[in-house]
Structure 1
């Protein structure tokens, strides 16, 4: 049994920003499912959006963000984030973060989709995530311990319903209890629910399922962003081709050279991601391959070393000037419902980064706002915790140490089957018939019973599958409930935005408990 003042589950930029912000007299423990560097943040090729240009302003950044989010954003939080962005970047720069600069020594600002100004800060070309993760990990003090290869499978609640820790499974199969005054989920989204995804293999919705099982509220789970351009070779997606490639002038074309985005949106190839993804999907559905024409980008290999290496490793010759692409699951706009600081609806439990739903992304995230969100809210939560009075961890008497073995699990689907069915039925284009079919299929695995299964007797691989089923059910349930199309949620049977019925309406999912630990029926509510 281990104790800490702050327990952070996850090791992406939001987690590392939080850890590096916390006071040095606090005992901080970071648990990561894999290695410290195996996260979506580390893979991020895009940059960080901040209004630093001469003719730019945080309010213009805000306008672009809510436009991309289809006005579903939490307005005040979004504005605060864009206002904090320039000062945040300057602080990182002064601290030694190696952001890219031009020949005059000034920050190099790039353009990406749905931005009206050049405001994207990069580091290492298209290796921004890797460089920021490296920078933040170097800031971690001796009061912070990082424990790798720990699979967190349960949150611990006191009799009063306060989150006081988590249970983790170690590589040798043994379990450990981690107690803490502040338990933070920074576990990322759920990209691996889909067969086509840019996400790291570890991003399977664990934190979302953990929070839901514990009784926290989740919201906006229907809003899944599909990135338009994943490298597509031999019927498989191989990895992300950064939006910055289109920002530098690449065009989406068909085999015979037709520009597919002309006349679709005023911003053409730099339209919001959901529009570009849906357009590419339509062409692929008709049997037409779509390519990124990079022939007009000088020194492509020097400008985009990560993309170039990805193509080379996949056997693609860049001398053709074309990269075959397809859309894939990239980012979850919804997640665990939080307030301005990162507090969830369970006392003692917090969520930051992609695992959280802060509302700043609305129905569709603006390019390069994800790293920004993690940096802003990681710092904000850290500063808030720093102001809290020091207290000892909750008493051990409240920890349920005894294990009650339940009946054996029924058979579970293979992960590849779950991913394939999610892509087909709850993917880029949705409709009631397929969503209902997916609901019935997922519920055939007794979702509500899975919420009460004692997981300690099972290996991480099976627990991961259970978490994926639960999270997939949440996404599908919300997608069925929202009878309109908005941002990353596109219903072919409800193809337009219904502002009268749905503007600013949020679908909230919560599991309620009866006394004695038994759960009531899962509740779905619509709030404003």
Structure 2
């Protein structure tokens, strides 16, 4: 048993930013299910969006974020985070050699899809996530302890005041260890590994969302899954992400018959919002075509994209041919654990930051390079808040064990979960296949499992994947329109009259409810809230 003032679950940029900004008077412990550098953040090739160019302004970034998010965003969350972006970049740029600069020493600014200005700050060409993660790891002080290879499988609550007070974990040797804390932060990332094709790290299986849901926290917007248009596709498998920045530098999507597939589809063509590009590629794949990125217009590809070059060459792609085979795959979850802008959930003492959280910044579709930004913002702001508030008493409770016979659990293989989600709750959805998936998931009765102590880590992973899959499927059934990362072939249009509201699911109220918060339907991209 261990106690901490702040207990952080996860080790991505949001978690590391938080840990690095917490005061030395706080005892901080970071628990990560694998190694400290195994996270989506560390893999992130794209950059961080911030309105720092001479022709740019936070109002432009704000409007681009709303448009990409199909106006399902929380406008106040967008305003706060976008406004802070330049300062967050400046803080890192002043203290570390992280970001790429031009010959004059100014930060290089890239262009990505759905942005109206060059505002993407990169590090190491296409290694921004690794650069920022290593910068933050190097800033961790002695009051921060990191425990690796620790699998968190249950949140502990004080029932009297409905406060989260700790977690139960499986240790590397298989033993169970309980950690108590005054503040429990979930920074576990999204759920990309629920799908066959994904850019996500192997560890990103929806754990934090399932944990929060089981504890009774509110979960929102789970239907909105962003499928990245361009994952490297070799021999029927995805091998890594081909950053959107490649298209930002001039690469174009082309089918095997020579058709440039984004012509006439969207005014931004190959830099259209990701859901538009993903759906277009998906349509070509369904018709039996192969789709490639034509990189012949990028003269210095290997210099500009060293990490992507390595991925391609390791998988037998000859870049001299000028074509990289791609497919869309799950990339980012816009929904998650419902929080305010700094990460407070509906349960006292429980917080969520980064991709596990839903602040409303991303709306129905994340604007490229806003994710690392959100993690940096939430990590810093939550640290400032925790540093300023009075300490609360540390609780300890006796956990009542309810023995469960191992043979009662019947679970599918992970590959079955991934294939069923990709086929039925993937890029294109409809009521018939969603109902089929709902029925398939229900047969495993994972919500009836009330004691995890005797369950193996591999089976716990499947349970959390199934729980998260149920949340996505349920939310996708309820939203009878198409918006952002949620596309229904039976409801192919947006329905602003009924569906600009958010849906919320929590364990003790199974149906999806809509809040009284109504985003005005008359928002346009020219509207400025400054």
- Range class of TM-score, shorter chain: over 0.9
**Hey, what does 1:84 align to over in structure 2?**
84
**Hey, what does 1:240 align to over in structure 2?**
241
- Within the alignment, does 1:466 sit opposite 2:467 as a pair? no
Contact (CA 8 Å) 2:46, 2:244: kept in 1 or not? yes
**1:95 deviation in Å?**
1.2
Contact (CA 8 Å) 1:97, 1:132: kept in 2 or not? no
Bigger CA drift: 335-344 or 399-408? 399-408
**Hey, what does 1:336 align to over in structure 2?**
337
Show CA shifts across 1:267-298 (max 9, x none). Answer: 00000000000000000000110100001101
Mapped to 1, the partners of 2:496 and 2:391 lie a distance apart of 47
3-state SS of the aligned residue for 1:199? coil
- Within the alignment, does 1:446 sit opposite 2:445 as a pair? yes
| 1:108-507 correspondence to structure 2 within 5 Å | 108-160=108-160, 161-394=162-395, 396=396, 399-408=397-406, 409-450=408-449, 452=450, 454-503=451-500, 505-507=501-503
3-state SS of the aligned residue for 2:177? strand
3-state SS of the aligned residue for 1:522? strand
Contact (CA 8 Å) 1:22, 1:385: kept in 2 or not? yes
**1:159 deviation in Å?**
2.3
Contact (CA 8 Å) 1:222, 1:479: kept in 2 or not? yes
Mapped to 1, the partners of 2:333 and 2:97 lie a distance apart of 27
Contact (CA 8 Å) 1:62, 1:79: kept in 2 or not? yes
Show CA shifts across 1:342-386 (max 9, x none). Answer: 110000000000000000000000000000000001111110001
1:511 paired residue among 507, 510, 514:
507
**1:97 deviation in Å?**
4.1
TM-score (norm 1): 0.96
Mapped to 2, the partners of 1:472 and 1:129 lie a distance apart of 27
| 1:37-48 correspondence to structure 2 within 5 Å | 37-48=37-48
**1:255 deviation in Å?**
1.4
**1:80 deviation in Å?**
1.1
**Hey, what does 2:526 align to over in structure 1?**
none
- Within the alignment, does 1:52 sit opposite 2:48 as a pair? no
**Hey, what does 1:517 align to over in structure 2?**
none
Mapped to 2, the partners of 1:274 and 1:402 lie a distance apart of 46
**Hey, what does 2:522 align to over in structure 1?**
none
Contact (CA 8 Å) 1:250, 1:297: kept in 2 or not? yes
Count of paired positions: 514
Mapped to 1, the partners of 2:29 and 2:115 lie a distance apart of 37
**1:124 deviation in Å?**
0.5
Mapped to 2, the partners of 1:341 and 1:354 lie a distance apart of 13
3-state SS of the aligned residue for 1:187? coil
Mapped to 2, the partners of 1:341 and 1:201 lie a distance apart of 27
3-state SS of the aligned residue for 2:394? coil
Contact (CA 8 Å) 1:511, 1:523: kept in 2 or not? no
**1:390 deviation in Å?**
2.5
**Hey, what does 1:6 align to over in structure 2?**
6
Q: Which structure 1 segments of 5+ residues have no match?
A: 513-520
Show CA shifts across 1:152-187 (max 9, x none). Answer: 000000122210010111010001110000000000
**1:402 deviation in Å?**
3.8
Mapped to 2, the partners of 1:334 and 1:174 lie a distance apart of 33
**1:407 deviation in Å?**
4.1
RMSD value, Cα: 0.9
Mapped to 1, the partners of 2:489 and 2:504 lie a distance apart of 23
Mapped to 1, the partners of 2:400 and 2:435 lie a distance apart of 39
**1:448 deviation in Å?**
2.8
Contact (CA 8 Å) 1:182, 1:348: kept in 2 or not? yes
Mapped to 1, the partners of 2:470 and 2:135 lie a distance apart of 37
